[in-house]
Structure 1
Amino acid sequence: MKTASVKELKDELKYKDEKELINIVLRLSRFKKENKELLTYLLFEAHHEDDYVESVKAKIDEQFLSVNTRNIYYAKKGIRKILKEAKKFIRYSGNKETEVAILIHFCKLLQDFQPYYSQSKVLRDICTRQIVLIKVRISTLHEDLQYDFEQELNMIDY
């Protein structure tokens, strides 16, 4: 089976009525957890972006507390998993401000993750890459937001 392009899907969806669209969306949500998470964001959390950012930050905080610190290998693996999940939540939002806020929070927590942060070049490189990405995203924001986020970014030692 050949997968249809986004344009083809969009054109076909124009011809569906409301009941058919609801059934399609509900059927789609049954197949993958990510589809259901995205649908949840779009329906319930997209209108309250600040609350969404705070809930993602709280989830990242919890994940940092549960990282396996018995071995540096497991600690690095846990940090990468946290970053992957943070990127997933950023992708759901698609908002540059949300991305910057979440990544700055991640970098702050990563730098406070002692003694592993100071011992591991891999963790320092992860943080450095995220800071470069943050700087690129900040440059695309409004001037007032740029100033606010640059002030937060300057509090991170890199």
Structure 2
Amino acid sequence: MLKFLTWLDAEHGRTITTCTQQDLDQWIATGATTRYAIRTFVVWCAAARINTTITLGFRTAKTSRILTQEQRLAWIRELVEGTGESLPYRVAGMLLLLYAQPLVKIAEMPMSSVVVTVGGLSLLFGGTPAPAPEPFAALLREHLTHRPHLRTTGADNPWLFPGGRPGGTFTRTP
């Protein structure tokens, strides 16, 4: 509110009493969506009859899909079939694209979250195991047998994606 009033005075030499709808619209249009936070102030000004000529509706969030289904499937295909990226990168990408897991969660996944049974592979993201479909399961099996950095960190490293530094200051508990 104070930034708006300061701007209104500096740009147009007006106060809230003399503010026009055009002034308010310009303020909203030329800044971040957080400027809609002055809506309560505008409503109060109208109720208190300080300025009844200006109005500001609710902000409607504009959502747009960041990744289309076609793009997602193309990336999955590239990660499964391609060899340009490292195996850990490909497995992490598949976890992101198939299970919508945030990268932070992927990076800290313990080996215990991969359940190997006679029926196939499953992943524990919560209470219920999620099956790993083929051909992702084949990539995951390959990653399990060829995890990087095990010579440095030890073969008993509990992480699905072990780091490259032994005894680093960052500690996690599986």
TM-score under structure 2 length normalisation: 0.27
- Structure having the larger proportion of residues in strand: 2
- Structure having the larger proportion of residues in helix: 1
TM-score under structure 1 length normalisation: 0.29
Rg comparison, structure with higher value: 2
Higher relative contact order (CA 8 A, sep 6+): 1
